[in-house]
Amino acid sequence: MLGKKIRHTKRYQEIVNVFMKNGFSHFLFRIGVADRGLAQGMETTELNTNLKSIGKRLRQALQDLGPTFIKLGQIASTRHDALPPEITTELEKLQDDAPIIPFEHVKQIIETELEGELESLFEFIDPEPLATASIGQVHTAKLFTGDEVVVKVQRPGLRPKMETDLEILHGIGRILEERTAWAKRYRVRGIINEFSSSLRNELDYLMEGRSGERISDEFEHQVHIQVPEIYWEFTTKKVITMEKINGIKISEAERLEALGYNRKVIAKRLADAMLKQIMEHGFFHADPHSGNIFILPKNTIAFLDFGEVGQISEKLKRNFASLIVNLHKGDTQAMVKTFSKMDLIPEETDVEALKRDLEQLHGSYENVMLKDLSLGRIIIEVFNVAYYHHIEIPSDMAILSKVILTLEGVLGRLDPEFSIMRATEPFARKLLRQKYHPKTMLKSALNELVEDVDIITDLPKDVKDVMSVIKKGKIGLDINIRQSDRIMHRLDRISNRISFSILMLAFSILMAGLIVGFAILGQNTMIWELPIIEIGAIVAGLMFVLMVITIIRSGRM
């Protein structure tokens, strides 16, 4: 325990020193991390406080602090809803470079993890690395079966260092939320929690292998998409062995052209493959830069490196699709409605001002040729509007915008005429059509019914618990207005549905009574020369259809 505290103290001081060296001493003093004396000694480095300068100095500080902070900066660069563009633009430049791990260390890690001598595990392994990064290093090798593979080895001692950094970051996040309104509004601790989970997953090569196989399953029947095979007998949490893909990097557009590849076909296949992962399966490669995509014969696309993957829920997929379609149509009212459905608009937001800003944004690109539109940039501009109006964008959607922006850069070098906006819209419309498919609506209606039944079933117990607390005089007042509004909206819908159902039941009983009465008396069903029973049946049918439509649309009655 003492060793852990000493290690934390030493690293904490190192982090503080790096930020102070890069001109953040006054900020550190304001949040209580550095004392006034140290802050005054560093004031000369803080003369230029414009956002672009802050972004550059922040990028340099994160680069100096190593892998954990580089990864943090890369994730922060996607948070256009929480950080100004001058900061995110600089953080996008963070490089994931690292010194080469000596081969004797690589050999030791492989032998320890795979429990065998290197010579008995591989027929050959190249001592020179194929690639190196802050988390791992890649070597080409050959198995005794003759299969050519690549072996990725995690840097020695990396996890303890990252765990120390993450614990320190959690502490800094807590301080920021306590002492700055900005950090509290954007729930910095929540972002750090998500980052911690993502980074720990990236340190687990078993999880990376499973992610690769899952994406491979998504394209099981598509011959033009390939994912390298994982050799599980040579894979652990710190070592992963996979099929070696011999192809051409997708960034080498001129070479592809010279060898007879069809760049337009490749661009179309790549866009469709990524959009299929995102819009259909909700599980996708989250780092589709040119180094992670190779081109094979017959314009086949190979995805590599699944350390970073993204996952979005069905609800978020539909909301994202709705934003895409409404963005294309310029329907700012529907966009605001989507934000509202996602429960993102704070009470203090001026909704009319938000609409005006979105309309102004749409007007700026309304007459631009479709091929010249950047979907990624437009989404980022929407996020900038959201940032201005204090709207917090879900981290999953922020990562999605980064993926699309990265993809657009790759596609633009392949085929400058390609429009990802045009490619995305059919997927988005298909997703929205599925929302109104009878099977989807039935499932949604059943889920609503189960939720309503749960609320009604639990109501007597909840009332009893509340009354018990009141009798004991231990009631406290802690009202969350937004949450109570949502509960009241739900109760309102339930009560109206019940009332409407009772009304229908009463009407049906009345009609049944009339039918039986007329049958006993042996009279026809004409009253005042009107077919009362037939008219009643039509009215009852219309009421039933109205109730079904209302439930499906989940609106107020």
Write out pLDDT tens, residues 264-284: 999 999 999 999 999 899 999
If asked whether residues 456 and 393 sit together in one domain, one would say no
Residues 325 and 425 in one domain: yes
Q: Are residues 270 and 341 in the same domain?
A: yes
CA dist., res. 268 & res. 93, Å (int): 27
Assigned domain for 20 exists = yes
Q: Is residue 179 part of a domain?
A: yes
What share of the chain in percent tops pLDDT 70?
Answer: 70
- Answer yes or no: is 83 within a domain: yes
Q: Report how far Cα 212 is from the mean position of its chain's Cα atoms.
A: 18
Same domain, yes or no: 55 and 183? yes
The boundaries of the domain holding residue 105 are 99-154+204-244
* 347 lies in the same domain as 270: yes
* 3-state helix/strand/coil string of 31-87: CCCCCHHHHHHCHHHHCCCCHHHHHHHHHHHHHHHCHHHHHHHHHHCCCCCCCCHHH
Are residues 268 and 417 part of one domain? Answer: yes
130 and 142 belong to one structural domain: yes
Those residues whose C-beta lies under 8 Å from the C-beta of residue 166, and which sit 6 or more positions away, are: 68, 192, 196, 199
Query: 429 and 280, same structural domain?
Result: yes
557 band by pLDDT with thresholds 50, 70 and 90: very low
Q: Dig out the tokens for 149 from the structure.
A: 């593979």
Q: Would residue 198 count as lying in a domain?
A: no
Q: Same structural domain for residues 270 and 413?
A: yes
Residue-wise pLDDT for 162-205, tens only, equals 899 999 888 888 888 888 777 776 677 877 887 888 888 889 99
How far from the centroid of its chain's Cα atoms is residue 222's Cα?
Answer: 26
* Residues in CB range of 94: below 8 A, 6 or more apart: 59, 62, 63, 70, 73, 74, 77
- Domain tally, the chain: 4
Check whether residue 44 and residue 120 sit in a common domain.
no
Count of residues for the chain?
557
Question: Is 199 a member of any domain?
Answer: no
Lowest mean per-residue pLDDT among 85-89, 213-217, 550-554: 550-554
**Do 118 and 166 belong to one domain?**
no
Phi-psi region of 363 (alpha: psi -120 to 50; beta: other; left: phi over 0): alpha
Q: Which of these three, 435, 459, 494, is where a domain ends? A: 435
Evaluate if residue 544 carries a pLDDT over 90.
Answer: no
State the Cα–Cα distance between residues 273 and 253, nearest whole angstrom. Answer: 19
Question: 430 and 313 share a domain?
Answer: yes
Q: What percent of the chain has pLDDT over 90?
A: 24
Q: How confident is the model at residue 42 (pLDDT cuts 50, 70, 90)?
A: very low
CATH number reported for the structural domain that contains residue 221 in this entry: 3.30.200
